[in-house]
Structure 1
Amino acid sequence: MDNVDVFVDLPDGSRWSATLITLGQVELVMKRWATTGEALGGCYFQVSDGLIVRDAGIGNMTRVLVGLIENGEFAQVLQRLDD
């Protein structure tokens, strides 16, 4: 899996969202957009809650999310959803 939208519910009741995507998938999307004309012909890539990860796979992406929680960086990286 190279691209996944996630919703994370933490024990404190807060809810968070992110789009996790690999570097390789970003490159493929931008190349496709170069032919379709989206994003100024593939000149940029932007998603409001995007998180680029090095390696594909649910296991790797889960490790990244857990690491962000353990390091206290979660709130700076993911987007909090309003209650």
Structure 2
Amino acid sequence: MKLEKSETYRNEIKSDIVRAGRTTTEVVDSLSDEYGWSRSVPNLSGRLKRGSLRSGEAAELADALDCDLAWQKRGQS
């Protein structure tokens, strides 16, 4: 069974949250405090499931996880 891109991205982000040693609730609270996001965990989960994060929101989420979000030309590392 092939995963849809949005499901793959959601799984990667959830893994990043776990690797950061945080819960989704903690991340949502950080996003709310720093960027004014809703404190609703189901809201974030739904957006990840639907793949409906905007690029600015993805950058804010990466920042909350202490990650960099970078555009990189394919085939270059």
| TM-score normalised per structure 1 | 0.28
- Structure whose residues are more often helix by fraction: 2
- Structure whose residues are more often strand by fraction: 1
| TM-score normalised per structure 2 | 0.30
